[in-house]
Amino acid sequence: MRILAIDPGFDRCGYAVFDKQAQEPTYITSGLIEPKKSKNHEKRFLEIYDLLTQTIDTHKPDKIIIEQLFFFKNQKTVVAVAQVQGAIMLLCAQKGIPVEFLTPLAIKSAVTGYGLSDKKSVQKMLKLTLNLNGELKSDDQADAIAAGLAYCYMNKNLL
């Protein structure tokens, strides 16, 4: 089973691809989509949509995992991120790919064993577990990798 995990964001959208075979997940790749801030909202959504379409067409995932919106201090940001989630869900519906959401608490619990871990602890565990050598470009990319790994851990017996 191929998994595409996404950390949705308006400024930066992280993604990660895993193969889930038997008990051990295999990390394939990850990246970061950073639409130009000079573009208007519609063009930024289109850029995210187009680049995720290319990612889906290249990696052909069987399931999409999205980090669920949980809490935002900035109301302006939460609206834009929710809109990005909507665009991602539309893309998944068009491609016929099922979507699952994982909360940040569930992701941190699965990756580090502690649901209130900070980002540095999660990234350290990702580097140790997946042998990532300087590959993490941002928190958003790391969050997508963590979401994919967490899904694999939480569904060990599911192929």
Catalytic residue (one of 34, 67, 139, 143): 67
User: Which residues partner with 13 through β-bridges?
Assistant: 33
140 is catalytic: yes
Which residue, among 139, 148, 126, has the nearest Cα to 59 in the 3D structure? 148
Catalytic residue (one of 34, 139, 140, 143): 140
Catalytic residue (one of 7, 34, 139, 143): 7
CA 3 to each of CA 15, 18, 29, 60, 151: distance values in angstroms, whole numbers, following the listed order: 10, 5, 11, 9, 9
Q: Which two tokens stand for residue 123?
A: 């990234």
7 is catalytic: yes
Q: Which two tokens stand for residue 41?
A: 């909202």
| Catalytic positions | 7, 67, 140
